Amino acid sequence: MKSKGTLNIYKLFCLGLIFLFSSCITNEDLEYIRLNKDRDNFDLIKDDYYLQKGDLLSVQISTVTEQQHDFFNKEQTSNSQLMIQNPYLYGYLIKDDGFLDLPSFGRVQAEGFTLRELENIIKQIALSYFEQPVVKLNIINFEISVLGEVNNPGTYKIVNPDVNILYALSLASDITQFGDRKRIKIIRQENEINKVFFVDLTNQNILNNPDFMLQPNDIIYVSPLEKKFYTINNISNAVSLLLSTVTIFLLLNQ
């Protein structure tokens, strides 16, 4: 028959096991995009970003036309340092009516087009002024904010508009071990209305989810895991922690 002391140790051990494995973070909690064993590939669906009012664009036109006749780029090259410090001095804003005001080119509709589509539109206009023009556009006020359980929260400037959630999290040095990967909150403003939706980064179909791609001024918030406060990477660590707890208990009750 077990002594009372042995029985108490046994109970303590069982309670410790229950407490340990109900409160620890496992490797499964830290995974992204959990694929089935019989699936090792997938198709990435990427939606193009359509320009909206409020987007600030840089417009660069390369041409073989002699520089003294290149009226479009002259102002930009003369104040390059100042323009780097304040892009609004040389960027072109898509106004509330959806149009850009470009020097000598006049008003150009931009809202609702992709960057590549708008490049072609501006190129057709530029052919009337320049020889063999090459048009390059970029969104220079494309920023995203990553907050919550990440290693380096902050606001980041984006160069390539085809940006997704995983890339944004990499800028913030990834989610911490205490971040909830199943419920990433995205806050987005559309038509002056803030919308909130959630994304599960462990879902194997996440790459085919249109919400996987981000838009300018999106806010990504990573919530902490519920009732999770320490990490167990493998079973040996779990057992070591439990034995240490029991040993300390025995020493204190001698």
The pLDDT, as a whole number, for residue 2 is 47
The pLDDT, as a whole number, for residue 131 is 86
Q: Are residues 38 and 66 in the same domain?
A: no
Number of compact structural domains in the chain:
3
pLDDT in tens, the chain (254 residues): 445 555 555 555 555 555 555 555 555 555 655 555 555 555 555 667 889 888 999 888 888 776 655 656 655 554 555 555 666 677 899 999 999 999 888 899 999 999 999 999 999 999 988 888 889 998 988 999 999 999 999 999 988 888 899 999 999 999 998 899 989 999 998 777 888 999 999 888 888 888 888 989 999 999 988 755 555 555 555 556 556 666 655 555 55
- Which residue, chain included where needed, has tokens 């320490």? 230
Alpha helices, DSSP H, located in 142-234: 165-171
The pLDDT, as a whole number, for residue 73 is 65
Cα separation, 159 vs 161, in Å, equals 6
The pLDDT, as a whole number, for residue 206 is 83
Cα separation, 206 vs 173, in Å, equals 20
Q: Are residues 105 and 125 in the same domain?
A: yes
* CATH number where 127 lies: 3.30.1950.10
Q: Which of 93, 121, 139 is the last residue of a domain?
A: 139
Q: Are residues 77 and 185 in the same domain?
A: no
Confidence (pTM): 0.68
Q: Are residues 97 and 170 in the same domain?
A: no
Q: Which of 139, 161, 195 is the last residue of a domain?
A: 139
The end-to-end CA distance of the chain, in Å, is 21
Range of the domain at 149: 29-47+143-224
Q: Are residues 91 and 135 in the same domain?
A: yes
The pLDDT, as a whole number, for residue 15 is 54
Q: Which of 139, 171, 198 is the last residue of a domain?
A: 139
Q: Are residues 62 and 134 in the same domain?
A: yes
The pLDDT, as a whole number, for residue 210 is 81
Q: Are residues 163 and 128 in the same domain?
A: no
Specify which residues 108 forms β-bridges with: 100
* CATH number where 158 lies: 3.10.560.10
- 3-state secondary structure at position 216: coil
The pLDDT, as a whole number, for residue 1 is 47
Q: Are residues 175 and 64 in the same domain?
A: no
Q: Is the dihedral of CA 201, 32, 41, 214 positive or negative?
A: positive
Q: Are residues 175 and 67 in the same domain?
A: no
The pLDDT, as a whole number, for residue 226 is 74
Q: Are residues 119 and 155 in the same domain?
A: no
Q: Are residues 169 and 199 in the same domain?
A: yes
Q: Are residues 36 and 157 in the same domain?
A: yes
What distances in angstroms separate CA 130 from CA 82, 107, 127, 199, one per listed residue?
26, 18, 5, 47
